[in-house]
Amino acid sequence: MGMSMNRATRRTIAAAALLGSLASAAAANEVVVYSARSHYGQEPAIEAFTKKTGIQVKSHGGNSSELFDRLKAEGDKTPADVLITVDAGNLWNAAQAGLLAKIDSPETQANVPANLRDPGGRWVALTMRARTIMYNTRKVKPEELSTYEALADPKWKNRICLRTSGYIYNQSFLATMIKRQGEPKVETVVRGWAANNPTLINGDTKILEAIAAGQCDVGITNTYYLARILAKDPAFPVAPFFANQQGTGTHVNISGAGIIAHAKKKANAVKLLEFLTSPEAQQMFADSNFEYPANPQAVVNPILARWGTFKQDDINVAAAGELQAAATKLADRAGYK
């Protein structure tokens, strides 16, 4: 009986060891993503990655600040390997807080232009969106439009819809303008916008609906909000005007990704970023939200393609984070609420 108990004990130990090694093999064959994109890992590109590599992707969602706080609280105990978030300012803040490691991948660098990557190599763009002028096609002719700065012209008084200045995309937009032109020049422009008595609306989609309804004639929003509407209603009477084409180009922002400083599965994290920045995945990733691919080799969604190509401001998007505080203070001084 003693012998059979020993055998049983040995079997139990062997089974436990096998389960343990299977569990660690399964863990080695996954990558944990904290994602602030609204899809939270349900995107076709993420599924395609698992199909191609066999690496399972575990996604946890939340908004950027929630994920940021969670990573800071978890420290070196975090299960996360990759952070995906929207806005270059958010990525810059995560890098500054020491939450992201340098991405050791020449392939990722080759896939994404330098202005859409962290100069310190800690994050990379996955998609790009233009934040540009939108206009009512029944009330405004494109030749009446030119630059963001020209919206300060008194002819636009009571005709503009804007989001509040505290909105992250507007902070990034103003921060990039400051990097390009310096504070005094930008402050003059923003004072001009404020003097034109803009209607402040909380939401890019709501701004586009207000333009279509004739509540205002022009506004500034991200391109993908308009593409989403046009996908359902091609007759929607709003079109984008790509601003500043004769000068520095249209302001762009990104959603992007970085590898967590305390990632336990860095090799898998690198593989994921290499795949997500490849032309194949870029098209899927950008299509799921009507964004522009960060990789110039990828195909653009047909709705966006109909708008034609445009010159983008090629300043490094890291400026969005670097001058975020300055942008907020400038808006306050200029009376842009």
Which CATH number do you get for residue 282? 3.40.190.10
pLDDT of residue 20: 47
Phi, psi values for residue 107, rounded to 5°: -65, -45
Q: 321 and 230 in one domain?
A: yes
Q: Which of 101, 91, 111 is nearest to 253 (CA)?
A: 91
Q: 149 and 37 in one domain?
A: no
Q: What's the chain's average pLDDT?
A: 92
Q: Which of 57, 116, 112, 120 is nearest to 94 (CA)?
A: 120
Both tokens assigned to 274:
């290499």
Task: Measure Cα distances from 262 to 46, 48, 102, 245 in Å.
Answer: 22, 26, 11, 42
Q: Taking the C-alpha atoms of 311, 314, 319 and 321 in order, what is their torsion angle to the nearest 10 degrees?
A: 70
The residue type found at 316 is N
The full DSSP string for 31-56 is: EEEEE-STTTT-SHHHHHHHHHH--E
The predicted-structure confidence for 146-204, as pLDDT tens digits, reads as follows 999 999 999 999 999 999 999 999 999 999 999 999 999 999 999 999 999 999 999 99
The residue type found at 35 is S
The predicted-structure confidence for 228-274, as pLDDT tens digits, reads as follows 999 999 999 999 999 999 999 999 999 999 999 999 999 999 999 99
pLDDT of residue 163: 97
Examine the pLDDT at 301 and tell me if it is beyond 50. Answer: yes
pLDDT of residue 21: 44
The residue type found at 113 is P
Query: Are 258 and 104 a contacting pair, CB within 8 Å?
Result: no
Strands 292-293 and 160-162: unpaired
pLDDT of residue 40: 58
Q: 187 and 87 in one domain?
A: no
Examine the pLDDT at 129 and tell me if it is beyond 90. Answer: yes
Range of the domain at 133: 129-251+312-334
Q: From the CA atom positions of the chain, what is the Rg in Å?
A: 23
Q: 330 and 234 in one domain?
A: yes
Q: 234 and 214 in one domain?
A: yes
> Count of H helices and E strands in the chain?
14, 11
pTM attached to this predicted model: 0.89
Both tokens assigned to 214:
């004739």
Both tokens assigned to 84:
């995906």
Examine the pLDDT at 2 and tell me if it is beyond 90. Answer: no
pLDDT of residue 41: 60
Q: 165 and 212 in one domain?
A: yes
Does 20 fall in a domain?
no
Query: Are 72 and 80 a contacting pair, CB within 8 Å?
Result: no
What CA–CA distance (Å, rounded) separates 21 from 15?
A: 10
Does 204 fall in a domain?
yes
Task: Measure Cα distances from 60 to 103, 116, 196 in Å.
Answer: 21, 25, 43
Number of domains forming the structure of the chain: 2
Q: 273 and 258 in one domain?
A: yes
Q: 104 and 215 in one domain?
A: no
- List Cβ neighbours of 22 (8 Å cut-off, separation of 6 or more): none
Does 41 fall in a domain?
yes
Beta bridge partner(s), residue 83: 34, 258
The predicted-structure confidence for 11-56, as pLDDT tens digits, reads as follows 666 555 555 444 444 567 999 999 998 765 668 899 999 999 999 9
What CA–CA distance (Å, rounded) separates 20 from 238?
A: 58
Model confidence at 8, pLDDT cuts 50, 70, 90, reads: low
Q: 182 and 260 in one domain?
A: no
Q: 290 and 226 in one domain?
A: no
pLDDT more than 90, % of the chain: 88
